[in-house]
Amino acid sequence: MNKINRILFVCHGNICRSPMAEFVMKQLVDEADLADKFYIYSKATSTEEIGNPPYPPARRKMQEMGIRMTPHQASQITRDDYAEYDYIIGMDSNNIRNMLRIFGSDPDCKIHKLREYTAHPGDIADPWYTDDFDTTYDQILEGCKGLLKAIIPSHSNSMYTTYSDQDL
């Protein structure tokens, strides 16, 4: 595999779910000795948190799970991001709608929800509202493992199933 796989994780504010997914995925590809084959980043659909670091409870959960988070500041997706990434992964249906509004369309079928790559398709729970970072982390980890398996089938847990975007 010579191609660099460019993944963009997207949520509403880019302070909870999408940076959690970004750093979980980075750790998974590091552990699989594939870091040189991936470029992974995260952004928001809104402008509400631009410039802010990840939400402290999200950082605490990541630290608890041994996931290293490097400095990160929330930023918003732009129309140009569509051409820059191979996989644009939203956390919920609202994110998908907002991405389609910003991008205009998805002619290359790059936009998916993270849980499409699991046996439990649906939305990633938003801990900003639920305050349940455990469930959100578990859903993100499962989704990232499934996404990695979809991209590189020989480097992931076989219990995860890939789903199409038919449920969006």
Please list the active-site residues: 11, 17, 126
- DSSP per position, 74-128: --B--TTHHHH-SEEEESSHHHHHHHHHHHS--TT--EEEGGGGSSS-SPPP-HH
With beta carbons less than 8 A apart as the criterion, state whether 118 and 146 touch: yes
Query: What residues have CB less than 8 Å from 49, skipping those under 6 apart?
Result: 13, 14, 15, 74
Compute the CA torsion angle 118, 125, 74, 79 (nearest 10 deg): 60
* CB within 8 Å of 33: residues ≥ 6 apart: none
